[in-house]
A and B are shown apart, each in its own frame.
Chain A
């Protein structure tokens, strides 16, 4: 059974940094593209970033380019999101989601999310 477990969320001040992790199990991690999707309170889904299974390519939504960095450690079945220069509008639940193949596509499994709150 696929299991995705996010961690690392919490309260951070504006301008601060945070590193999210997503521990994966139940599937061949290295052959699956992985993604971060966020959802602000009461709002819709917003794609953040994707990384191919081999980590050779990364993709970001324009508003997060340069502030967020996605990475993965295939030896530890773990996905990361390094977030810097955080703003109040980055407050959201951050979901880790997998694609059933090595390049971005649709998201067939999701974690339960980790809440990031940016506030002074």
Chain B
């Protein structure tokens, strides 16, 4: 089955840039989606199809995908961005796969 690999945690100072990676075999050929989940809340879609931002999601959130790595970038990080972030793809062998999640801590 297809596996997505995320770093368990990322720490970033306010105002700086956080990059969260999602590794997978030839992930660049797949559409990658990203979700933000705050404690006690349901997940929220922040990026679809690698880099599309749903309405209501700040422009500070962006995404890219190439080769074996997809990346969610949070620019000008704010305290309110502290959350778990999960990547997700549909794969013919799995078919729906989530990464294990990355906890973003704002210092």
CB of A46 within 8 A of CB of B49, answer: no
Contact between B33 and A104, CB atoms less than 8 A apart: no
Establish whether residues A95 and B42, one from each chain, have CB atoms under 8 Å apart when the complex forms.
Answer: yes
Bound state CA distance, A61 and B91, in angstroms? 12
Q: Mark A13-50, 1 if CB is under 8 A from B, else 0.
A: 00000000000000000000001010000001111001
User: Which residue of the partner chain, among B42, B44, B95, B98, contacts A59 with CB atoms under 8 Å?
Assistant: B95
Q: Does B79 contact A (CB under 8 A)?
A: no
Chain B at the A interface: mostly helix, strand, loop or mixed?
A: strand
> A50 and B96: CB pair below 8 A?
yes
Contact call A44/B44, Cβ cutoff below 8 A: no
B83 an interface residue at 8 Å Cβ cutoff?
A: no
Is B43's CB under 8 angstroms from A108's CB?
no
Within 8 A of A (CB), among B78-107: 84, 86, 88, 90, 94-101
Using CB atoms, name the residue of chain B closest to A96: B42
Q: Interface of A with B (CB < 8 Å)?
A: 35, 37, 44-47, 50, 59, 61-62, 95, 104-113
Knowing that A107-B35, A108-B54 touch, tell me 20 more A-B residue pairs with CB under 8 angstroms.
Answer: A37-B43, A44-B99, A44-B101, A45-B35, A45-B88, A45-B98, A45-B101, A46-B98, A47-B96, A47-B98, A59-B96, A61-B96, A95-B43, A104-B95, A106-B45, A106-B48, A106-B88, A108-B48, A109-B45, A110-B42
Show the binding face of B for A, using Cβ within 8 Å: 1, 31, 33, 35, 37, 42-45, 48-49, 54, 84, 86, 88, 90, 94-101
